[in-house]
Amino acid sequence: MGEAKKTDVLILGSGIAGLTCAIKIAEARPDLKITVLTKAVADESNTRYAQGGVAAVWNEKIDTEEKHIADTLDAGDGLCNEEVVKMVVEEGPIRVRELIEWGTRFDKEKGGEYDLGREGGHSENRILHYKDITGWEIQRTITEKAKQLPNIVIRENCFSIDLLTQHHLGYNITRVHPDIECYGVYALDKNNLDVETHLARITVVATGGAGQIYRATTNPIIATGDGMAMMYRAKGRISNMEFVQFHPTSLYNPAVESQAFLISEAVRGFGGVLRTRDGQEFMHKYDERKSLAPRDIVARAIDNEMKIRGDEYVYLDCRHLEMEGFKKHFPNIYDKCKEEGIDVATQMIPVVPACHYFCGGILVDKIGKTSINRLYAAGECTASGLHGANRLASNSLLEGLVYGHNIAMDVVECIDQYDYKEGIPDWDAMGTTDPKEMVLITQSWKELKDIMSSYVGIVRSNVRLQRALDRLWLLYSETENLYNTTTLSPQLCELRNLITIAYLVTRSASMRHESRGLHYTTDYPGLLDHREETLM
């Protein structure tokens, strides 16, 4: 509690989109104070766990922007915004060069040229990477860069609870409205559990994805959809939440509950082959590109093979590959497999699909503006139009760079017309009591994961979706009661957000009466003639 904290620009999230935006604003306008709130430590984000790399047209002798655009549109299955795709692909190399200038290291060949990888859905080698921990290297760079700028303040362990809008001034906002404005956030200091009021002239949401709604996910434990959920509660536009990308190959380990280990798509680009448990190849039955088909096709193929055979996993075979090259390109994967008792040179790697990336989220335009005034958003929490119905591998880091830059350039031009909003009340904590049983929260989280994994996974149906909605309503009612009667905790806030995200995914899926991209339903296996976004 206490006096409201004021900052010119408030950025929620410290991944590639959030910190790129912060750095750009800080360098362009040294007179502005930029505050970055992150609910964990500064370098813990979805960005950190991106293995494969960042896609950009680099070798113009073999690659072109037209090819990258065509690959992105093909993966997006008719729902990409072509103007956005063109913008991101064309601006991408410029932003990547800036990242290199800031100190990011990408692998090079002996001759000094960048070692460009290739992943599923790409027609050429265009993936810049740092071994198999590219995200870690980028996160290291942007965190160090941000900490060098005196007008950037990074608040760690500060959990954003809700966006501040006219609703907190007593207005009854019941639906999406063009005049809604954002004035900052209420945030929970995880160190002392005090709720702070953060006021800002401009707010940017860059809070990442929501993979924790599923049992198996490659996302870190922090990926709980906080920004998307806050936007929905504030009556902002949300789009295309049914399109959840499952990475085809996470390391099978039934003992792991929170974060599955990712076996990068680049391993298949390097020559890895998918096989059933009896050693038979199967991808040729589903797509002529075999193991290099786009992720949605590969994930559904694996899911189908597992179901018809009753298997819990399939294999990724790397035994035929040149092993010294494999160790050089994928040292982290090689060591992890060895740690789990798998010798990649002589044994196949057991893999299963796992929730990996959200292609829907907060609806934004080409400069990151949302439907709420004074509020921008960037990165995985958004539906920018780049990914459409399915993300092309390694386009996500590129999107974060481009949108972080575009938002920054617009903010530095327009921020001077805004001032802080007065009259925002302190957080109302009256009537709350200490929670008696944490088990109510942890068990509800487990139930949520079970519901979504069983009924709203890779393959869906009307019956499954309705069953999920029925059970989600009960979880929502119980959790809202808990939220309104007990002292806030980060776990309770995350559970509340996850239930909101689960509802949005399930409701959006039930509204799309076709199978497109990442959304596949047995009741509507074909494509509709028209192509449109789902808005909520």
Topology agreement, domain 5-242+359-417 and domain 439-521? no
Q: Cβ contacts of residue 408 below 8 Å, gap of 6+?
A: 20, 21, 22, 23, 24, 25, 28
361-363: strand order across its sheet = 238-239, 361-363, 382-383
Q: Give 223-260 as a DSSP string.
A: -S-HHHHHHHHTT--EE-TT-EEEEEEEE--TT--S-P
Return the CATH class of domain 439-521.
mainly alpha
CB 176 within 8 A of CB 237: yes
The token pair that represents 196 in the structure block: 């702070």
Tell me how far CA of residue 529 lies from CA of 53, 513, 532, in angstroms. Answer: 35, 11, 10
pLDDT for res 307: 85
pLDDT for res 430: 59
pLDDT for res 434: 67
Q: Cβ contacts of residue 187 below 8 Å, gap of 6+?
A: 37, 158, 159, 160, 161, 195, 196, 198
Q: Cβ contacts of residue 192 below 8 Å, gap of 6+?
A: none
* pLDDT tens track, the chain, 536 positions: 578 999 999 999 999 999 999 999 999 999 999 999 999 887 788 888 777 799 999 999 999 999 999 999 999 999 999 999 999 999 999 999 999 999 999 999 988 999 998 887 899 999 999 988 899 999 999 999 999 999 999 999 999 999 999 887 777 777 777 889 999 999 999 999 899 999 999 999 999 999 999 988 989 899 999 999 999 999 999 999 999 999 999 999 887 667 889 898 889 989 999 999 999 999 999 999 998 887 788 999 998 899 899 999 999 999 999 999 999 989 999 999 999 999 999 999 999 999 999 999 999 999 999 999 999 999 999 999 999 999 998 999 999 999 999 999 999 999 999 999 989 998 887 556 666 668 889 999 999 999 999 899 999 999 999 999 999 999 999 999 999 888 888 999 999 999 999 999 999 999 999 999 999 999 999 998 777 888 87
Tokens 């965190």 locate to 143
Catalytic residue among 95, 118, 155, 295: 295
Report the alpha-carbon distance of residue 193 to residue 521 in Å, rounded: 43
How is the chain split among helix, strand and coil, in percent rounded to 5?
A: 40, 20, 45
Return the CATH class of domain 248-355.
alpha beta
Tokens 């075979």 locate to 317
Annotated domain spans of the chain: 5-242+359-417, 248-355, 439-521
Which DSSP letter does residue 375 get? E
What angle separates helix 82-101 from helix 134-148, to the nearest 10 degrees?
A: 70
Q: Give 24-40 as a DSSP string.
A: HHHHH-TTS-EEEE-SS
Tokens 């092309």 locate to 392
Q: Judge whether 295 counts as a catalytic residue.
A: yes
The token pair that represents 37 in the structure block: 């709130």
273-275: strand order across its sheet = 244-251, 349-358, 314-317, 273-275
pTM for the structure as a whole: 0.92
| Closest to 344 measured CA to CA, from 273, 430, 245 | 273
- Cα 508 from chain centroid? 18
CATH superfamily placement of domain 5-242+359-417: FAD/NAD(P)-binding domain (3.50.50.60)
What angle separates helix 134-148 from helix 396-414, to the nearest 10 degrees?
A: 20
Phi, psi of 529 (to 5 degrees): -65, -40
Report the alpha-carbon distance of residue 528 to residue 360 in Å, rounded: 19
